Structure 1
């Protein structure tokens, strides 16, 4: 039976009866609608990440030269706050999609980014502004971090299971690029206007936020299947897989966002770099890591998320060991190469772990259908839980970025003033993730995370 999909009425633009698993509908019109929503979602999420990570570059400007001198420990604290708030907001942001609709929430969550951006623009031009003011503004930039969960939850419903790894990877990767792009903006500002003009960084984003909100309002759609999923987060927290996958996401996304926020400060603390020198190096890792995320999703589509994730964590452990060697030798070249590898591997792992989320629940649904359950109901439940777990894993994973920045703060604030203690802690965590992936998703074939062909 062909699914009847009703066109979105104006002005709410709600689509009813959306079923991307219906191949005839998907090829006829579903693919076009889904890709349009994906493109606009990427734009809004990209700006969300940029605003969320704005203090990762603003701290490079904060110096006595502009009347805003803070210690290294205070700067690491300043980049911790947005990470913490953005991670915690991912749970309500994910639920907001079901409550208000993906299009409606994208418009609102994008427009509200004007508030922290305007505040940053104003106060970085005020010499003597106390740290607590910047901490408060940093907390507000966490609004941009919440955008990730709502965007991913929404986009997951637009695409069929066979394309979700690619679509979620592209959506997240385009958003993650915001971390690299804002660092390139900072580099351009420092190179042209000097290290005393941080307000220009914020000014660049004001018109872009307005344009993205308008584009979402005019071009995106709401899906009734998303709105019809109440209580999904409550059910998801009872699932053991929610917490195993969230722990794995701490290792991948927590690393990406934690390193992205802290790398410039690490270079200043480890090698005594100036703002220009640090900004010249910080964009490459987040850029390559963001571009690697869709590849991680595609590899997981082809080879299975668990296998890709396990090998990825082994690579991250090796990269961290190289960081320890580079730190001991004082080799900047090796240090930069190892950190860049960690960014790339964290991006790959982000894609593979997020592919695992819908795949594990789809496999469970397939088992239920084999046992005699109704196929439509089983897979609808799988999609409902997958959307909720995406939000929960995004929130828990983001907290990994907080832990990374706190580890750096403690390590560089210690007597040795180096990052070695932090690197040892990261190495242990990555090895723990290898064991977790093997034990929960590779050792037992019954729960192996792979796409169920034709399910």
Structure 2
């Protein structure tokens, strides 16, 4: 056994476990922000569009920062960018927790300084969104651990289990709010994030290539050794190279559009559904939280199976089928006002969106194999940008048409699904060339 064999640490499964654990807790940083945003509405006198912008703010940093931080993986490995994002998210949640304490302990002060407090919430919400940005870092980190034939399973498992966080916390949040109050709930969530950061520091592992670089070996030596250990994918030379290489291919941008539809849409709905259920169907916050949690968990868990399906029938075929389901679910919520039917339509949307999320990242390492980190950054970052763009659009429907706007806003998701099916057809034709 060589000295290098003795020095490197970890295995593909260990790399997958550490990244999944880190992303799960990173998402905790914002999992209560959307569901509790409605509580700021009356004290700060927020309009529907201001509320939509507020719940979307973490998605702005959580999407845009995925681009440079994921590309950073190609030159530094995943641990450094992952931990950097987690620490920034901790500062964001510390700020939000302090503001929540101030607002709900001193409502008179809050009402007199509502503009200042609103912008401070936006700022610290922006910082806390860094926890979401860990997603693309983990995607790149996991991709370099696994061979092509297992990418669907590995990335589906990583994203599926990691994305369980908002769903699980949506179940826990109403219980916490009722029994502990909003102030204590925020500090508990802050504790979750700190614990998760520590656990990632202990368990997160870079693949063999990056470990060899950190030992001082040349890129050529590191690549040779990594491939001898079964690592198929090796990165471009630098962050800038990775971003440039991936940006030059049309396939990257088509995948961005697909991911905008379903993961950006997922983030938007996770934040918007509590408002939709409480304001349109007048259900309690507990019922709204439970329905949102069901949507979030189903979208996340089904992603694991979506990855397996994509391994078997291909990413493009899987994507087309899933987007048809999303369109059917969107159509149901848009045109049928029955509560039970809307719940069923929500579940159909969850299945379609979750499976497509897995299919997209099955396609990334296959279509942009020489710059997985850069491509993952563009796809995960600009794709997740939908979580920032879509909620204000939904708020605009409400501002224009009142309560009926909550239903009419789902036209956005129907049109996105149809458009994305067209993108899949283009990708399918490109694959035949």
CA distance in 2, matches of 1:45, 1:352: 19
CA deviation after TM superposition for structure 1 residue 36, in Å? 1.2
**Correspondence 1:36-51 to 2 at 5 A:** 36-51=14-29
Task: Report what 2:225 is aligned to.
Answer: none
Taking a change above 3 Å as real, the CA distance of residues 420 and 209 of structure 1, as seen in their structure-2 partners, is closer
CA distance in 2, matches of 1:281, 1:246: 28
Task: Report what 1:435 is aligned to.
Answer: 422
CA distance in 1, matches of 2:376, 2:77: 16
CA distance in 2, matches of 1:281, 1:144: 23
Task: Report what 2:56 is aligned to.
Answer: 80
Is residue 109 from structure 1 mapped to residue 85 from structure 2 by the alignment?
yes
Task: Report what 2:33 is aligned to.
Answer: 55
- Equivalent in 164, 173, 179 of residue 151 of structure 2: 164
- Equivalent in 409, 426, 429 of residue 395 of structure 2: 409
Residue 235 of structure 1 contacts residue 385 of structure 1 at CA under 8 Å; is this kept in 2? yes
- Equivalent in 253, 257, 279 of residue 289 of structure 2: 279
CA distance in 2, matches of 1:256, 1:5: 46
CA distance in 1, matches of 2:23, 2:188: 16
Task: Report what 1:390 is aligned to.
Answer: 376
CA distance in 2, matches of 1:106, 1:425: 33
CA distance in 2, matches of 1:224, 1:39: 16
CA distance in 2, matches of 1:420, 1:210: 38
Taking a change above 3 Å as real, the CA distance of residues 211 and 440 of structure 1, as seen in their structure-2 partners, is same
CA deviation after TM superposition for structure 1 residue 445, in Å? 5.0
Taking a change above 3 Å as real, the CA distance of residues 95 and 387 of structure 1, as seen in their structure-2 partners, is closer
- 3-state SS of 2:126 partner: helix
Taking a change above 3 Å as real, the CA distance of residues 126 and 207 of structure 1, as seen in their structure-2 partners, is closer
Under a length normalisation based on structure 1, what TM-score does the superposition of the two structures give? Answer: 0.81
CA distance in 2, matches of 1:118, 1:58: 16
CA deviation after TM superposition for structure 1 residue 324, in Å? 1.5
CA distance in 1, matches of 2:85, 2:426: 38
Task: Report what 1:376 is aligned to.
Answer: none
Task: Name structure 1 gaps, 5 residues minimum.
Answer: 16-31, 362-381, 448-455
Residue 50 of structure 1 contacts residue 181 of structure 1 at CA under 8 Å; is this kept in 2? no
Task: Name structure 2 gaps, 5 residues minimum.
Answer: 104-109, 214-218, 220-235
**Correspondence 1:26-37 to 2 at 5 A:** 33-37=11-15
CA distance in 2, matches of 1:434, 1:421: 21
CA distance in 1, matches of 2:79, 2:66: 17
Taking a change above 3 Å as real, the CA distance of residues 316 and 140 of structure 1, as seen in their structure-2 partners, is same
**Correspondence 1:51-200 to 2 at 5 A:** 51-62=29-40, 64=42, 67-127=43-103, 128=110, 130-193=117-180, 197-200=181-184
Taking a change above 3 Å as real, the CA distance of residues 172 and 4 of structure 1, as seen in their structure-2 partners, is farther
Is residue 205 from structure 1 mapped to residue 189 from structure 2 by the alignment?
yes
Task: Report what 1:347 is aligned to.
Answer: 354
Residue 185 of structure 1 contacts residue 201 of structure 1 at CA under 8 Å; is this kept in 2? no
CA distance in 2, matches of 1:205, 1:426: 30
Task: Report what 1:364 is aligned to.
Answer: none
CA deviation after TM superposition for structure 1 residue 172, in Å? 0.9
C-alpha distance after superposition, 1:31-58 (max 9, x if no partner): x611112112111101112213331122
Taking a change above 3 Å as real, the CA distance of residues 42 and 225 of structure 1, as seen in their structure-2 partners, is same
CA deviation after TM superposition for structure 1 residue 72, in Å? 2.9
Residue 57 of structure 1 contacts residue 182 of structure 1 at CA under 8 Å; is this kept in 2? no
CA distance in 1, matches of 2:60, 2:289: 23
Higher relative contact order (CA 8 A, sep 6+): 2
> Between Structure 1 and Structure 2, how many residues are aligned?
395
Residue 255 of structure 2 contacts residue 379 of structure 2 at CA under 8 Å; is this kept in 1? yes
CA distance in 2, matches of 1:4, 1:324: 63
Residue 268 of structure 2 contacts residue 387 of structure 2 at CA under 8 Å; is this kept in 1? yes
CA deviation after TM superposition for structure 1 residue 165, in Å? 0.6
CA distance in 2, matches of 1:419, 1:57: 16
Under a length normalisation based on structure 2, what TM-score does the superposition of the two structures give? Answer: 0.85
- Equivalent in 207, 210, 223 of residue 207 of structure 2: 223
CA RMSD of aligned residues (A): 2.2
CA deviation after TM superposition for structure 1 residue 150, in Å? 0.7
